[in-house]
Amino acid sequence: MDTPAARLRARLDTARPAIAMSAHNALSAKLAAEAGFDAIWGSGFELSAAHAVPDASILSWETHLAAMRAMVEVQSAPVVADIDTGGGNAVSVAYLVPRYAAAGVAAVVIEDKTFPKDSSLRPGGRQALVPVAEFQGKIEAARIADGPLVIARTEALIAGLGQEEALKRGAAYAEAGADAVLIHSKQTTPDEIIAFCRAWPGQVPLVVVPTAYPQVSFAEVAALGKVGLIICGNHAIRAAVAAMRETFAAILAEGGIAGVEARIASVADIFALQGDGAMREIEARFLR
């Protein structure tokens, strides 16, 4: 069956990990697909940032779900939806996941922190984890027939619980039916993650997000033979913020818009991304 989940599963190759780029709206997802990324990371952090609110379970599920649906509709790469803690418990997960399935997402990522969540990379952020058995219940509740893949994310390393606890949780989540395990770290070197990958028994592919340790290459991750998906976790929103700040500052400094014209996308490029040409074809055929 050619479902988004099936297409993503086929790309989770530990010999050649799929690469996902973050997105915070339909346009950034379309640009990521245009660039050639294997998948789109529907980032809760980026979506929160795009609304200028903290990444702390503040945005409504309707807002998040609408964003994921829009990403699916405008491009063909599988969308991996970051649903944080899944809304609190197994009941909320069982309610939410069918709605994400209906929106066409290929996978959902659920993390084992307590609700409401706090950003993993924020200094001093709260990192309390739920009991293993409780999180296994969330994984089981998320598994639905012909539904999205379930990626279980453990924050054990970030919470300071060590490799043994991280490996224990990862194995328990795979046993509960997770299709992949996301292991996260905010260490500034990849050593902690590399050690985890080498110790991982390999029941399911691993997923890594090398935001905090960008010096590790995709080839080095692939050489570990354990990782099926690498997520570029927040690069779309950071690139957008940097580009807008530079452009806005230049316009004010130069006293006009002429100087930035050669450095920003053309209006024709924006029309193309909007699908204006396809709309004109419809107009020509049916609105005579």
What residues contact residue 66 under an 8 Å CB cut-off, 6+ apart? Answer: none
For residue 150, what is the DSSP state? E
What residues contact residue 78 under an 8 Å CB cut-off, 6+ apart? Answer: 4, 5, 7, 8, 11, 38, 39, 40, 105, 106, 107
Q: Decide if 169 contacts 154 (C-beta within 8 A).
A: yes
Active site residues: 55
Q: Decide if 144 contacts 171 (C-beta within 8 A).
A: no
What residues contact residue 244 under an 8 Å CB cut-off, 6+ apart? Answer: none
Gap between the Cα atoms of 5 and 287, Å rounded = 38
Task: Kindly compute the dihedral angle of the four CA atoms of residues 101, 153, 50, 253, in this order, to the nearest 10 degrees.
Answer: -140
Gap between the Cα atoms of 44 and 223, Å rounded = 29
Percent of residues in the chain assigned helix, strand, coil, to nearest 5: 50, 15, 40
Hey, how many other C-beta atoms are within 10 angstroms of the C-beta on 229? 29
Q: What pairs with residue 115 in β-bridges?
A: none
Structure tokens at 4: 């988004």
